[in-house]
Structure 1
Amino acid sequence: MLTILGCFLSGISAIFSLIPFLYIWLIVRDIFEVLPHLSEATNLAYYGWMTVVFAFVSILIYFAALMCTHLAAFRVARNMRSQALHHIVKLPLGYFSGQGSGKLRRIIDESSGQTESFLAHQLPDLTGAYVAPVAMIAMLFTFDWRLGLISLAPMLIGFLFMARMAGSSMAAKMAEYQSALENMNNEAVEYVRGIPVVKTFQQSVFSFKNFHDAIMRYKKWVVEYTISLRLPMTCFTVCINAIFAFLIPAGILLIASAVDYKAFLLDFIFYVLFTPYCTVMMTRILFSSENSMLARDATARVMNILQEQPLKEPANPVSPKDSSVTFDNVTFTYKNAKQPALKSVSFHLSQGSTYALVGPSGGGKTTVASLIPRFWDVDEGMIMVGGVDVRHIATEELMSHISFVFQDTHLFKKSLLENIRAAKPNASRQEVMKAAKAAQCEDIIAKMPKGLDTVVGTKGVYLSGGEAQRIALARAILKDAPIIVLDEATAFADPENEHQIQLAFKELTKGKTVLMIAHRLSTVRNADCIIVIKDGVIKEQGSHDELLAMSGLYSKMWMDYRSSVTWKVGKEVALNA
Structure 2
Amino acid sequence: MEKKRKSGTAYLMQLAGKYKLHLFVSALFGIASALCSFVPYVMVYRSILVLLDGEGNALRYGLIAAAAIAGKFLCSIVSGTFSHIGAFNTLYNVRTQISRHIAKVNLGFFTDHASGEIKKVIIEDVERIERFLAHQIPDVTSAICAPVIVFIYLLTINVPMALCLLVPVVLGLIIQGVAMAITGKQMPTYHRLLEKLNTAIMQFINGMPVMKAYNMTAESYRDYADTVEEYNAFWKRCTKSQGYTYGLFVALVESGILFALPLGGLLYFRGTLPVQDYLYFMVMSMVFLSSLLNLMNLAMMFSQIMS
2:283 pairs with 1:273: yes
* Contact 2:219/2:225 (8 A) holds in 1: no
2:250 pairs with 1:237: yes
Match of 2:59 among 45, 51, 69: 45
- Structure 2 unaligned segments of length 5 or more: list them: 1-20
Deviates more, 1:250-259 or 1:110-119: 250-259
1:20 corresponds to which letter in structure 2? P
Distance in 1 (alpha carbons) for counterparts of 2:106 and 2:220: 28
Distance in 1 (alpha carbons) for counterparts of 2:89 and 2:227: 34
Distance in 2 (alpha carbons) for counterparts of 1:65 and 1:238: 28
Change (3 A) 1:189 1:30: same
Distance in 1 (alpha carbons) for counterparts of 2:98 and 2:104: 10
2:110 corresponds to which letter in structure 1? F
SS at match of 2:105: coil
Q: Trace 1:61-72 onto structure 2 (pairs within 5 A).
A: 61-72=75-86
Shift, 1:125, TM fit: 1.2
Change (3 A) 1:76 1:181: same
Q: Trace 1:167-246 onto structure 2 (pairs within 5 A).
A: 167=181, 169-201=182-214, 204=217, 208-246=221-259
Match of 2:37 among 3, 10, 17: 17
Distance in 2 (alpha carbons) for counterparts of 1:46 and 1:6: 30
Q: Trace 1:363-382 onto structure 2 (pairs within 5 A).
A: none
Residue by residue over 1:181-223, the C-alpha shift from the partner in whole angstroms, topping out at 9 and shown as x without a partner, is 2322321221122111233345657752111211222122222
Q: Which residue of 2 aligns with 1:95?
A: 109
Change (3 A) 1:32 1:178: farther
Q: Which residue of 2 aligns with 1:109?
A: 123
CA RMSD of aligned residues (A): 2.3
Change (3 A) 1:205 1:25: closer
Q: Which residue of 2 aligns with 1:146?
A: 160
Residue by residue over 1:4-53, the C-alpha shift from the partner in whole angstroms, topping out at 9 and shown as x without a partner, is 2222332333334333321121012211224xxxxxx7711110110111
Distance in 2 (alpha carbons) for counterparts of 1:81 and 1:53: 42
Q: Which residue of 2 aligns with 1:33?
A: 53
* Contact 1:125/1:288 (8 A) holds in 2: no
Residue by residue over 1:489-547, the C-alpha shift from the partner in whole angstroms, topping out at 9 and shown as x without a partner, is xxxxxxxxxxxxxxxxxxxxxxxxxxxxxxxxxxxxxxxxxxxxxxxxxxxxxxxxxxx
* Contact 1:130/1:285 (8 A) holds in 2: no
* Contact 1:243/1:275 (8 A) holds in 2: yes
Distance in 1 (alpha carbons) for counterparts of 2:251 and 2:43: 29
Distance in 1 (alpha carbons) for counterparts of 2:41 and 2:145: 17
Distance in 1 (alpha carbons) for counterparts of 2:43 and 2:196: 54
Distance in 2 (alpha carbons) for counterparts of 1:281 and 1:159: 14
2:266 pairs with 1:253: yes
2:298 pairs with 1:288: yes
Q: Trace 1:513-532 onto structure 2 (pairs within 5 A).
A: none
Change (3 A) 1:45 1:175: farther
Q: Which residue of 1 aligns with 2:93?
A: 79
2:301 corresponds to which letter in structure 1? N
* Contact 2:34/2:291 (8 A) holds in 1: no
Q: Which residue of 1 aligns with 2:7?
A: none
1:117 corresponds to which letter in structure 2? R
Distance in 2 (alpha carbons) for counterparts of 1:67 and 1:73: 10
Q: Which residue of 2 aligns with 1:461?
A: none
Change (3 A) 1:28 1:4: same
Q: Which residue of 1 aligns with 2:25?
A: 5
Distance in 2 (alpha carbons) for counterparts of 1:95 and 1:201: 33
TM-score, normalised via structure 1 length: 0.46
Residue by residue over 1:300-338, the C-alpha shift from the partner in whole angstroms, topping out at 9 and shown as x without a partner, is xxxxxxxxxxxxxxxxxxxxxxxxxxxxxxxxxxxxxxx
Residue by residue over 1:103-143, the C-alpha shift from the partner in whole angstroms, topping out at 9 and shown as x without a partner, is 32222112222211221122111111121121132133222
Distance in 1 (alpha carbons) for counterparts of 2:246 and 2:91: 32
* Contact 2:260/2:285 (8 A) holds in 1: no
Distance in 2 (alpha carbons) for counterparts of 1:199 and 1:210: 17
Change (3 A) 1:110 1:101: same
Identity of aligned residues (%): 22
2:209 corresponds to which letter in structure 1? P
Distance in 1 (alpha carbons) for counterparts of 2:154 and 2:295: 18
Change (3 A) 1:293 1:240: same
Change (3 A) 1:220 1:88: same
Change (3 A) 1:239 1:225: same
Distance in 2 (alpha carbons) for counterparts of 1:184 and 1:111: 14
2:31 corresponds to which letter in structure 1? G
1:61 corresponds to which letter in structure 2? C
1:230 corresponds to which letter in structure 2? G
Distance in 1 (alpha carbons) for counterparts of 2:234 and 2:289: 30
Change (3 A) 1:24 1:205: closer
SS at match of 2:113: coil
SS at match of 2:104: coil
Residue by residue over 1:238-262, the C-alpha shift from the partner in whole angstroms, topping out at 9 and shown as x without a partner, is 2222222222222332221115xxx
Q: Trace 1:288-327 onto structure 2 (pairs within 5 A).
A: 288-297=298-307
TM-score, normalised via structure 2 length: 0.84
* Contact 1:20/1:50 (8 A) holds in 2: yes
The structure that has the greater radius of gyration is 1
Shift, 1:287, TM fit: 2.3
More helix by share: 2
Change (3 A) 1:134 1:290: farther
Paired residue total: 287
1:180 corresponds to which letter in structure 2? L
Change (3 A) 1:207 1:101: farther
Change (3 A) 1:30 1:206: closer
Change (3 A) 1:127 1:175: farther
